[in-house]
Amino acid sequence: MKTRYLFLFLGLVMSGGPVLGASDVTNTRHNLSVSGPGTVKSTTVTQICVFCHTPHAAMADAPLWNHTLPSGQTYTIYSSTTLDASPGQPTGKSVLCLACHDGTVALGALANPPTGETLDAILQSPMNPAERGYLGTDLSDDHPISFVYDSGLVGTDTELVDPASIGLPLDGSNLECTTCHDPHEADTKPFLRQSTVNGTLCTSCHNKSGWSTSSHATSTAVWNNVGANPWANRRTEWIGANVAENACLNCHTPHTAAAGARLQKYQEENTCLACHNGNTASTNIQTDLGKTDSHPVTVTPNANHDFTAKEDPLTMTIHAECPDCHNPHTVQTADPMISFNPLNLAQTTTTPPLANARIQNVRGLDINGSVISSVTNQYELCFKCHGLPAKGPCGSVVTTDRCGTATGWSMTRLDGIYNIRDKLNANNPALVSWHPIVTNNPANNSEVPSLRTDIPLNKTSSLIYCTDCHNSDASPAAGGTGPNGPHGSNNEALLAQRYSLDPIVPTSGSVDFVLCFKCHSESALLVSPLSGFSHQRHINTRTKSCVNCHDPHGSHSYNHLINFQTNSSYTGGPYVIGATGGNPQPIFQDNGNYTGACWLNCHGNAHSGRSY
C-alpha cells in the first residue's frame, strides 16, 4: 500500500468518517521516525506510521493498531463539584493516546516492529515527564474524557452545546481525546481540530451564558511587559494578541492545570491576579488586596473551593475568593444600567440598589435570608456573608459585629444584633432606624437636618450602596481613580474614607469622620452646630467617637441610628453604660423635633434624664 493511501485510510479509521482536508502526519511530532520534526524521534527507524499502525498482524484493540496499550493501569480521573458529566476510566481512542502519553509504556513497544530496522534507545523508554505531551496517570488536572456527551447531559448542563451541533467528532457518544485533537494533523498546534483563538475550540461545546459580551471575551487589553507575563506558561502557538484572543485560556488550561477542578491556570486568586495586577487589566486589584483591611482572598485556604454557582451561602464555610463576587464568564466593564450616583460624583454607575454588571450572575441572599441564584441588588451579594444569622466574616459564631483589627478591639451593641441583614430589613417590625441601603426610612430620615444640600440626595427617598462606604481608599467612592469595590483599604473596616472606630480619642473630627461628610454637612455638625444636640462638643471637646452612640448600619433600639456601644473592656474603662444607680442599660428618649434625653454614664459623667 502506498504511503499516501495509508494516510488516507488511517485518517478514516481514527476520525470515524471521511477525512476533511489533507491529513499528513509526516510533518507532525507524531512522526517519530528519522524524518520527524520533533526532538523526540528515532535515529534509525525510517517508517512513519509504524509507531501507531501496521497493515498486517495488527492488535485487536483498534483497527490496524500496532502500539502496546497500558496494561491494568488505573487513572486518577478529573473531578469537580461543577461537573455534571460522569467520566470513567479512559476508554476508546483515549486509551490509544495514553499508550504513549501516560508515560508507562515505551514509545517503541510495538506489536509488529518494522522489518529490518532497529529500535534505538529513545524508543525503548516511555515518554519523559519533562515532555510537554506527558500526562502521566493522574488525569485529575486534565479536561475530562471518556464520558457520554448526549442530549441527556445537555439537559442537565444547559451551558453545553447540543452534541449534534458541536462540529467535533465524538467516539460513538463519548467525548475522548480525539474530540479536540486530530492525531494526524498539526496545522493548528498541538493537533487541535479548531483554533483556541477567541475561544473557538472551547465554545464549540461550552455555551457559557453571557460570555460573548463579557469583558474577558471582548477586551483588547495587552500585557505591558512589566512583571510576570500572564500568558508565559502557555504554549507559544496558543498565545493570542490580547485578552479577547486568549479568551478561555486566560484563566483555564486543558492539561496539567495548576488547580485541577475547573482547570484553573493558577491557584484560585492568582488566576485573576495574573492580569488584575495593573499590568494587563486596567484595575490593580492586587495592590488593594495587600492593604491594611481587605477581603481575605489571598489567605483563605480555598484553592479549589466550590464555584459560586454551586455553593449554598447558608451552609458554606465563610470565605472570600474572587468568583464569590464576580462571575468571570459574564462580568462586564460597562454597566448596562447607567445613571447618576450622587455619592460617586466622578463616576457614572448603576442606580442603588441595583447590582452592576461586574457582580451580576452571582448567588446571594435576599433581604429575607433566602438564597437567590443571581443577585439583582448589590446588598444581596454582601448578605451572602454579612447577612447570615450565626456567622460572621471570619466564619465563627458571632459575638461582635466585626472580626477585630490589629488593636484587637471589637464592638458590643445595645440591641445585640450582629447580622447586617437584620439591621437593614425594614420588614422586621423590631427595626427602628437604618441607613437607606435596602429601603429608605421616611418617618425617621425626615429628621436629618445635617444632610448636605449641595448633592442631589433626598432624605426621604434616596438609596445608597454598601460600597459608598465600604470600598477601596483609592476608588471613586473615596474621590480617587483606582478600582471600585471593597477589595482592600488602608482604612479600618474596609472603608473608602476615614471613620474612627476608636471609641476614645479621635484625632480630629474633620479628619476622622470624613466618610460621614460625603452625605452629612461637616459645618452643620462640627463648626456651626445645629440647634439641639451638640455633636461638636462630643466630638471635638469630649473627644468621643460617633460609634459610641450611632450604629452606621441600623438599630433595633432607637431612632437616628442610636445603638449605644456598651463594651466595658477598653483600656480606660467603660464608655456607654447605664446611669449610676439607675437602669443597667443606657437609655435614649426621643422627644421629637430634634429634642431628647439620655439616662446613661458616658465619658465619666452620669446623665440622669439630661435633655437637649
Whole-number CA gyration radius for the chain: 32
Burial of 449 (0-12, 13-18, 19+ CB in 10 A): middle
Band of pLDDT at residue 9, cut at 50, 70 and 90 = very low
Band of pLDDT at residue 422, cut at 50, 70 and 90 = very high
Q: What digits encode the pLDDT tens for the residues 101-159?
A: 999 999 999 999 988 888 888 889 999 999 989 999 999 999 999 999 999 999 999 99
List the grid coordinates of 262.
475547573
Which among 44-53, 145-154, 348-357 has the top mean pLDDT? 145-154
- Is residue 200 a contact partner of residue 245, using CB atoms and an 8 Å limit? no
Which among 128-132, 151-155, 235-239, 413-417 has the top mean pLDDT? 151-155
Residue 5: is its pLDDT beyond 50? no
Residue 399: is its pLDDT beyond 60? no
Nearest alpha carbon to residue 463 among 446, 438, 434:
438
- Is residue 227 a contact partner of residue 108, using CB atoms and an 8 Å limit? no
Provide DSSP, 419-487: -HHHHH-TTSTT--EE-SSSS--HHHHTT-TTB-SSS---TTT----GGGTBS-TTSGGGTS-S--STT
Q: What digits encode the pLDDT tens for the residues 261-295?
A: 888 888 888 899 999 999 999 889 999 999 999 99
Q: How far apart, in whole angstroms, are the C-alpha atoms of residue 111 and residue 119?
A: 13
Distance of CA 169 to the CA centre of its chain: 33
Band of pLDDT at residue 233, cut at 50, 70 and 90 = low
Helix (H) or strand (E) holding 240: none
- Is residue 328 a contact partner of residue 440, using CB atoms and an 8 Å limit? no
Longest dimension (CA), the chain: 110
- Is residue 168 a contact partner of residue 162, using CB atoms and an 8 Å limit? no
Q: How far apart, in whole angstroms, are the C-alpha atoms of residue 44 and residue 63?
A: 26
Band of pLDDT at residue 237, cut at 50, 70 and 90 = low
Residue 390: is its pLDDT beyond 80? no
pLDDT at residue 359 in the model: 92
Q: How far apart, in whole angstroms, are the C-alpha atoms of residue 305 and residue 168?
A: 31
Band of pLDDT at residue 7, cut at 50, 70 and 90 = very low
- Provide the mean pLDDT of the chain: 83
Q: What digits encode the pLDDT tens for the residues 54-84?
A: 988 888 877 899 999 998 899 999 999 889 9
- Exposure class string for 95-117: b at 16+ Cβ within 10 A, else e: bbbbbbbbbbbbbbbbebbbeee
Rounded to 10 degrees, the C-alpha dihedral 171/172/173/174 comes to: -30
What helix, strand, coil percent values describe the chain, rounded to 5? 25, 10, 65
- Is residue 97 a contact partner of residue 136, using CB atoms and an 8 Å limit? no
pLDDT at residue 496 in the model: 94
pLDDT at residue 481 in the model: 86
- Is residue 135 a contact partner of residue 144, using CB atoms and an 8 Å limit? no
Band of pLDDT at residue 2, cut at 50, 70 and 90 = very low
Find where cell 481525546 sits: 177
pLDDT at residue 285 in the model: 96
pLDDT at residue 471 in the model: 93
CA count, 13 A, side-chain hemisphere, 126: 17
Burial of 506 (0-12, 13-18, 19+ CB in 10 A): buried
pLDDT at residue 335 in the model: 57
- Is residue 560 a contact partner of residue 554, using CB atoms and an 8 Å limit? no
**For the ranges 270-284, 511-525, 560-574, which has the lowest average pLDDT?**
560-574
Average pLDDT (479-501) is 91
Helix (H, G, I), strand (E, B) or coil at 99: helix
Please give the span between the terminal C-alpha atoms of the chain, in angstroms, as a whole number: 106
| Distance (Å) of CA 23 to CA 13, 66, 102, 182 | 12, 19, 25, 9
Provide DSSP, 176-205: -HHHHB-TT--SSTTTBSS--GGGHHHHTT
List the grid coordinates of 79.
473531578
Q: How far apart, in whole angstroms, are the C-alpha atoms of residue 579 and residue 56?
A: 101
**For the ranges 78-82, 339-343, 502-506, which has the lowest average pLDDT?**
339-343
321 compared with 140, residue with greater pLDDT? 140
What is the value of pTM for the model shown? 0.88
Band of pLDDT at residue 505, cut at 50, 70 and 90 = low
Give me the percent of the chain exceeding a pLDDT of 90.
50
Helix (H, G, I), strand (E, B) or coil at 358: coil
Q: What digits encode the pLDDT tens for the residues 159-194?
A: 999 999 999 999 999 999 999 999 998 888 889 999
Helix (H, G, I), strand (E, B) or coil at 590: strand
Cis amide leading into 190 (omega within 30) = yes
58 compared with 222, residue with greater pLDDT? 222
- Is residue 555 a contact partner of residue 423, using CB atoms and an 8 Å limit? yes
Find where cell 487513572 sits: 75
| Distance (Å) of CA 467 to CA 426, 437, 603 | 20, 10, 32
